[in-house]
Structure formats: structure tokens, C-alpha cells
Amino acid sequence: MRAMRKYLAASLLGLSLSLAAQTNTAASQSQSNEKLIQMAQEDQLARTSALTQAERAKAFQADATRLAAVKEMIAQNQLATGLDYFNAALIMQHGQTSDDYLLAHTLAVIGISKGNRNCIWLSAATLDRYLFSMKQPQIYGTQSHRLDPAKPFTMEPYADQLVTDGLRKELDVPAEAVQKQRLDKLNQSLLAK
């Protein structure tokens, strides 16, 4: 246990020094990837309205194309700014595999280190999505789903006592009570239809 604490302390010190050494001024950041910005906008546009079955199938195909393009950009070292890493993570979280979600989480964490505050919430959401895909409980409460269209949305499995509301706040994640209110509102709106 003592060795683990020393390892964690050394790791945190190394990470802190590494982050402190980086410059995050706007002048030092290179230009964000315009193609990636456009792909992220398309990714979000496909999720702004209720989709028919045919539209959903088309959206999944477009997701696959965007995922492949992001993976190629990563392989070619074409991500440079915090915005690039945010957009790449946003696209990757709409993948279909645990590896896609874990890569999205990694990209969001790098985006944080490059100064993109939007990556803070996204890092929590991608970890929750990864955990869910691994049949483990989410820990932040960013994901809701329903496995049966006849049943209400749920956040389960959810280890809601593991992370405090204070820690959620640090990650720009709503408090547990707010999450439950939003879930209730979502389910009530579905009943009204």
C-alpha cells in the first residue's frame, strides 16, 4: 500500500510538472483543424432532432466515416489544439466499441491538458460511456439509456455513491439530484407523447 502511495504521488508530481511546463496561450497554439471542426458540427447536427429508423441508419453510417477519419488524423498526428482534441473526442464517443469510448476519453484528457475546458465534462462522459460498455456501473451519471423502448430511461447501472457531488462539480457534471430531475423530466415528456 505504501509503495502504491509513493507511485501515485510520484505520478501526480510528474504530471503536474509536465502540465506546468506547457504553454497554453492562444498565441502559442497552432491553428485548429478546420476539417475536424466541420466533422464535429455534422456529428452534433445529426443528434439535434428525433430521427426516423432510416435517418438513424444513415447517421450511423456517417458516424463510421467520421470515426475512420478521426483515427486517420490521429495516426497522422494532425491534432494540435485543445479544440482539435475536443472535437475528436466528441466524434469518437459516438463509436460502437469500448475501444472507441476509451480513445474518446484519452482525447478528452489530452484536450484538458491543452486548455480546453469543454473537455472536462467530456472526460467524465466518455469514462461513463466506457464503463457502461464494459458492463460496469457509471460513476458520474452522465449517461441515460433504455434497453426496451416500452420502458423509461434509466441511468443504471450507476455507482452514484462513489463520486461526491463536489467531485462532479469539479468535472462540470450536475449534482445527483439535478441528474434525477432531468431523468424524470425526460421520462415524463415521453409519457406525454
- The tens digit of pLDDT for each residue in 58-75 reads 887 899 999 999 999 999
For residue 92, the number of C-alpha atoms closer than 13 Å in the C-beta half-sphere is 29
Q: State the Cα–Cα distance between residues 32 and 82, nearest whole angstrom.
A: 8
Q: State the Cα–Cα distance between residues 142 and 127, nearest whole angstrom.
A: 9
Which pLDDT belongs to residue 25? 34
Which pLDDT belongs to residue 184? 94
Which pLDDT belongs to residue 103? 98
pLDDT at 191 over 70: yes
- CB-based burial label for 106 (10 Å; 0-12, 13-18, 19+): middle
Give the mean model confidence (pLDDT) for residues 109-121. 97
CA quadruple 152, 153, 159, 162: dihedral positive or negative?
negative
Which of 18-32, 39-53, 83-97, 173-187 shows the lowest mean pLDDT across its residues? 18-32
CA quadruple 131, 155, 126, 47: dihedral positive or negative?
positive
Distances (CA, A) of 170 to 51, 90, 102: 34, 20, 21
Which of 23-37, 159-173, 174-188 shows the lowest mean pLDDT across its residues? 23-37
Which pLDDT belongs to residue 30? 64
All structural domains of the chain with their residue ranges: 34-43+53-136, 141-193
Task: Give the dihedral of Cα atoms 24, 118, 40, 27; nearest 10 deg.
Answer: -20
**Looking at per-residue confidence, does 39 or 46 come out higher?**
39
Which pLDDT belongs to residue 149? 83
Q: What does pTM read for this prediction?
A: 0.79
